[in-house]
Each structure stands twice: as C-alpha cells, then as structure tokens.
Amino acid sequence: MKIELQGLNHRYDVEVLRELTFALEGYKSIAIIGVSGSGKSTLLRILSGLERPTSGSVRVNDHDVSNPAYRKSVGFVFQSHNLFPHLTLLENITLVLEKTRGHTKKEARDQACRFLTMLHLGDQVHKLPRNVSGGQAQRGAIARALSVGPEVIFLDEPTSALDPVLTYEVLNSIKELRGLGMQFVLVSHVMTFVRDFADYVVFMNAGEIGEHGPPSILDDPQTEGLKDFMAKVP
C-alpha cells in the first residue's frame, strides 16, 4: 500500500490534524494508534475519502482521495456496525451489490453468502441487525465492506463498542482475512491485536504523527508521547 500526505490540515471547531506530511509504501496492514482526540479517527476518515480535509493533498495507492470514484474502491467499517437496521444481514449486502455495483440478484446473493459464511455468519443471514449480537453485527458490517471487493479496508475502532469476548471474536475474524490479499488501515486500542496484525504502526499525538515504524516501536518507544501512551494502555 502507498500513502502520501502533503501538508494535511483539518479542523472542525478546533484544529484536529496539523501539517501532516508523510509517505509510506509497501506495507499491507497499517494500524493508527493514539489517545482519544489525537486525530486518529479523523485521519482514517480522510484516508478513506469519507471526509474532505480542510487543506493539503492526500493520495492512497496513487488515487486522489477527493475523487468521488475513489470511495467506491474502499471498504469502511464503523465503530458501531452501522448496518441498515431495517434489512437483514444478507439484504444489507445484496442491496449494496445490486444497486451500486450492478450485480444481478443471484450474483449478489452468492457473493453476500460467501462473505457472511467467511465471517461465520452462515446461519444468521436472514436476521435483522437488532436480532444478532453486537459482535455478529460488526462481523456482518465487515462482510458488507469486503463484498464490494475493495482495494483497501478501513476499520475505525471496530471493537470499541464490544465486550472482551465479542472483541476477541471480531478481531479473530479480521485476522483470518489477511489471506485475502486486501490491504488494511485500522484504528484500534487493542495493543495485542495491533502487534499481531499490523506490519506498520502510526502513533498519533495531538494532531501530529508522534512516531511511526514497525510494531516493534511499541516495545521500544523513542518519544515521550509514545512512552506515556504505552505506559497507560494494557
């Protein structure tokens, strides 16, 4: 995966990201970590094209993220599953594939079943999101993100709304997806998972990139910010 940030700034009411200039190439799963309010989720949304930065340029795999066509090449998993609540897990996927990707009914159904089964939801496909557990719904959301065949999947703290058992379930499913050959960018607070899954870590600190490198930087932090962060997270 290739990520290039050039003078990236973003602000809501306050400054969230400050003059980020950064380039990265060759990694397959990148984890963004940091305390709440450090700008990591905002950075993820900008990388996925969900949000437009206030200024600066952002390129992912040589695509300009401000190009609307780019969005169709990414998958995004939200903190809370964000499935459409009136549709079953299966329909959540088939609707997307039929209406926005031009699949026939049968293709969409086969594709949806394939991904739902891959995420161990084969027996839940006809249930509404409110009738499955939070972990199952989140895995349904991951299946939905995968089903459109994205180049890159962005995951925004996919387990922050789940208890430890469901967290384990969801993270295990994500690990199983590594074999699919997709690229991942994720925000997570679960350090054991980050160490295990990511091949590159970006530590955000107060709107800037505090430190970055392979997961081994977590064991040997060089900056005060990361040292402080690692001392506080389990």
Partner 1 sequence: MAPLSPPEATSRPGRSTVAYGLAISTFVLFAWFIVARQSRPFNLASIVPYRDNIADGFGRTLWVSIVSLIGSTSLGFLFYLLSASKVRYFRAFTDVFTEIIYGTPLLVMIMIMAFVIGPAFGSTNRAVMGFVGLIVYITPYMTNIFKSAIASIGAEQYMAMDLFGFTPYQRYRYIIIPQVVRILMPPLMNNFSLIIKGSALLNLLAYRELFYEITLMTNNNFRFVEGFLLMWLLYLMITIPLSQVTKWIDRRWGL
Nearer to partner 1, 61 or 80 (CB): 80
Query: With binding defined as CB under 8 A, does residue 85 bind partner 1?
Result: yes
**Nearest CB to partner 1, comparing residues 31 and 97:** 97
Q: Name the residue type at position 233.
A: V
Helix (H) or strand (E) segment spanning residue 59: strand 55-60
| Contact status: 160 vs partner 1 (CB under 8 A) | no
Among 52, 67, 86, 172, binds partner 1 (CB under 8 A): 86
Identify the CA nearest to 121 among candidates 187, 189, 170: 170
Site string for partner 1, 115-154 (x = CB under 8 A): ---------------x-----------------x------
Q: Report the C-alpha gap between 38 and 163 in whole angstroms.
A: 24
Does the footprint of partner 1 cover residue 161 (CB under 8 A)? no
Select the span of 10-18, 73-81, 165-173, 188-196 touching partner 1 (CB under 8 A): 73-81
End-to-end CA distance of the chain: 29
- For residue 38, the one-letter residue type is S
For residue 85, the minimal CB distance to partner 1 (Å) is 5
Give the strand pairing for 74-77 and 152-156: parallel
Provide the 3-class DSSP secondary structure of residue 200.
Answer: strand
Torsional sign, CA 147, 148, 150, 155: negative
By CB under 8 A, residue 84 contacts partner 1 = yes
Whole-number Å distance between alpha carbons of 174 and 191: 15
Region near partner 1 per CB under 8 A, out of 47-55, 104-112, 176-184, 189-197: 47-55
Residues that bind partner 1 (CB under 8 A): 48-50, 68, 71-72, 74, 76, 78, 80, 82, 84-86, 95-96, 99-100, 130, 148
